[in-house]
């Protein structure tokens, strides 16, 4: 058995993208019109995988805790929000234009491709280096001057298109929490420390969307703004850092592929006093998966100034009003999905000549879209099909398993196994003649095949629900 994630030069990404399309996980956005760069659509299995990943997150960070308040804020926000936060003035990437083709490139990406590490460099430094090293565009043409390019997607609200009707599709979900801080405090009177959490869409006009769902223009984030007293920021930062690792464990991905990076002074966002990036070894290299930032009191203070609304909090212990500080764990949904799929992608060489290699997704049962598939051994034996349908329906009745059990009687058993392996189904259950009592010793038992080992076991029907539910808890 071989996990094909190690080499950045192999074609693992192509195989993953092809499997995702073939099996109904992820399709190119607007595909029949030639696509729309940086957008992807989730198919029937992709959406189940996404729901499982989001539900695990919501459970760990919201429903299992008493100090978290879930919200779901509007994507469109008053443009003043983004003026206060500094996004209108400074949420930008450095860009350079090919003077001939007019194609635009990220300056930092061009420098990286030419062996320069651009971390911590100013726009001016990067521009000077491009010129000093006489770096050309990937098409071999002269480049223009480097400039900043704002990543926010702008739109107009209402019938009149003027400056007063400008709105932006939010570039992060975070601000939905800051602008609702006062609402939640007024409704629930939470004691510090407490957090606001949400899962939702965000939009960035990325200059170079790439690497499948890694860098996209329409993304989803799972974010928490956790409010603390200033003097307690470091201990809360640590406990959220630990919870981020626990969530990564929930996903079942190989922890050796996840690495922390302490982000240096010149590379942190303007609002952050400390940032740790969680990086993952993707097939195309080690890249950012999540971020944990100490945002200080920057956002609440900026919004208080911008909105002229008092966003302080009455600290009963101190008997005074304070502006809480904030720790932000931020998770990209798409990057989580890509890490889960890339980590799970396995290829097993063919055992015999003429056989195809076995491809399977070694999903943890918790995230697998389908936990078990039920088959009749033969499609043309009505008594087997009926019994298999009964098993399928009884498993589906269980509220935990509902929606995660499949029925398959297409093709032969070998083909069904291959299909379920490719979508990462941990268990395949086969109803055969023994189940019906041909061999009385095995009456009302079925074979259960384990995806990873290929080993089959006979299990009494009445134990099936427990077996599958135990796998979901593990």
Interface residues with ligand GAP (CB under 6 A) are 172, 174, 204, 206, 215-216, 219, 221, 223, 288-291, 328, 330, 332, 334-335
CB 353 within 8 A of CB 28: no
Tell which residue, 28, 8, 29, 26, has the closest CA to residue 16. 26
Structure tokens at 451: 């995806």
Work out how close the CB of 27 gets to ligand GAP at its nearest, in angstroms, rounded to a whole number.
17
Closest approach of ligand GAP to the CB of residue 270, in Å? 12
**CB contact set of 155 (below 8 Å; sequence gap of 6+):** 76, 166, 167, 168, 169
- Of 277 and 408, CB closest to ligand GAP: 277
Q: Which residue is nearest to ligand GAP (CB)?
A: 332
Least gap, CB of 35 to ligand GAP (angstroms): 16
Helix, coil or strand: residue 309: coil
Cβ nearer to ligand GAP, comparing 174 with 395: 174
> How far lies 357's CA from each of 9, 341, 362, 454, in Å?
20, 18, 15, 14
Query: Tokens 């990543």 map to which residue?
Result: 151
- Count the neighbouring beta carbons within 10 Å of the beta carbon of residue 147: 14
Residues 6+ apart with CB under 8 A from 380: none
CA–CA–CA angle 425, 2, 374 (5° rounding): 15
- Residues 276 and 278: their CA atoms lie apart, in Å, by 6
Looking at the DSSP bridge assignments, the partners of residue 215 are 210
Q: Which is nearer to ligand GAP, 94 or 332 (CB)?
A: 332
**Cβ–Cβ < 8 Å for 88, 152:** yes
DSSP helix, strand, coil percent of the chain (3-state; round to 5): 35, 30, 35
- Using the minimum distance from each CB to ligand GAP, give the nearer residue, 296 or 330: 330
How far apart are CB 399 and ligand GAP at their closest, in Å?
32
In angstroms, give the least distance from the CB of 173 to ligand GAP: 7
Residue with smaller CB distance to ligand GAP, 214 or 427: 214
State which residue, 98 or 206, has the beta carbon closest to ligand GAP: 206
Smallest separation (angstroms) from ligand GAP to the CB of 216: 4
Q: How far apart are CA 68 and CA 191, in angstroms?
A: 11
Separation CA 325–CA 231 (nearest Å): 9
**Residue closer to ligand GAP, measured from CB, 153 or 472:** 153
Shortest approach of ligand GAP to residue 277 CB, angstroms? Answer: 7
Both tokens of 281, joined, read: 């070894």
Closer to ligand GAP by Cβ: residue 250 or 422: 250
Q: At a CB cut-off of 8 Å and minimum separation 6, what does 78 contact?
A: 167
Contact (CB, 8 A) for 136 and 101: no
CB of 456 to ligand GAP, least distance (A): 40
Residue 337 and residue 345: Cα distance in Å, rounded?
12
Rounded to 5 degrees, what angle do the CA atoms 338, 341, 343 make? 105
205 or 465, CB closer to ligand GAP?
205
Q: Which tokens go with 360? A: 């399977």
CB 457 to ligand GAP: min, Å: 39
Q: How far is the CB of 239 from ligand GAP (least distance, A)?
A: 19
Closest CB to ligand GAP among 334 and 369? 334
Could you tell me the two tokens for 302? Answer: 């900026």
- DSSP per residue over 209-261, as a string? -BTTTTB-SEEEEEEEEEEE-GGGHHHHHHHHHHHHHHHHHHHT--GGGEEEE
- Nearest residue (CB) to ligand GAP, 61 versus 290: 290
Distance CA 208, CA 41 (A): 19
Residue 275 CB, shortest distance to ligand GAP, in Å, is 8
Of 143 and 333, CB closest to ligand GAP? 333
Shortest gap between Cβ of 419 and ligand GAP (angstroms)? 30
């Amino acid at each position: 058995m071989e996990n094909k994630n190690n080499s950045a030069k192999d074609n693992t990404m192509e195989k993953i993208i092809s499997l995702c399309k073939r099996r109904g996980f992820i399709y190119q956005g607007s595909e029949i019109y030639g696509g729309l760069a940086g957008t992807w659509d989730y198919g029937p299995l992709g959406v189940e995988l996404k729901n499982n990943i989001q539900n695990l997150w919501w459970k760990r960070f919201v429903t299992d805790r008493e100090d978290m308040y879930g919200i779901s804020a509007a994507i469109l926000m008053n443009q003043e929000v983004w003026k206060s936060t500094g996004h209108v003035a400074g949420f930008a990437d450095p860009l350079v234009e090919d003077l001939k083709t007019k194609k635009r490139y990220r300056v930092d990406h061009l420098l990286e491709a030419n062996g320069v590490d651009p971390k911590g460099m100013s726009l001016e430094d990067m521009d000077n280096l491009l010129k000093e090293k006489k770096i050309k565009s990937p098409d071999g043409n002269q480049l223009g001057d480097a400039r900043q390019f704002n990543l926010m997607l702008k739109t107009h609200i209402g019938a009149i298109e003027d400056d007063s009707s400008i709105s932006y599709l939010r570039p992060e979900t975070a601000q939905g929490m800051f602008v609702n801080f006062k609402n939640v405090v007024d409704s629930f009177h939470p004691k510090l420390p407490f957090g606001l959490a949400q899962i939702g869409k965000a939009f960035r006009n990325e200059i170079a969307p790439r690497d499948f769902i890694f860098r996209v223009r329409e993304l989803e984030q799972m974010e928490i703004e956790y409010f603390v007293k200033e003097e307690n920021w470091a201990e809360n930062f640590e406990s959220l850092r630990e919870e981020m690792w626990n969530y990564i464990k929930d996903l079942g991905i190989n922890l050796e592929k996840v690495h922390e990076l302490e982000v240096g002074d010149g590379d942190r966002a303007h609002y952050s006093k400390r940032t740790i990036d969680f990086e993952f070894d993707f097939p195309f290299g080690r890249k950012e998966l999540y971020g944990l930032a100490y945002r200080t009191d920057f956002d609440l203070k900026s919004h208080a100034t911008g909105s002229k609304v008092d966003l302080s909090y009455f600290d009963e212990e101190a008997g005074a009003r304070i502006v809480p500080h904030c720790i932000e764990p931020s998770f990209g949904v798409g990057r989580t999905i890509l890490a889960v799929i890339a980590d799970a992608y396995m290829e097993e060489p063919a055992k015999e000549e003429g056989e195809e290699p076995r491809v399977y997704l070694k999903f943890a049962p918790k995230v697998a879209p389908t936990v078990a598939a039920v088959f009749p051994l033969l499609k043309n034996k009505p008594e087997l099909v009926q019994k298999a349908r009964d098993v399928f329906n009884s498993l589906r009745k269980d509220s935990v398993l509902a929606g995660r059990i499949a029925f398959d009687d297409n093709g032969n058993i070998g083909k069904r196994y291959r299909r379920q392996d490719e979508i990462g189904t941990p268990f395949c259950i086969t109803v055969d003649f023994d189940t019906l009592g041909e061999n009385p010793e095995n009456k009302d038992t079925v074979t259960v095949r384990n995806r990873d080992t290929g080993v089959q076991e006979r299990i009494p029907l009445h134990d099936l629900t427990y077996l599958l539910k135990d796998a979901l808890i593990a």
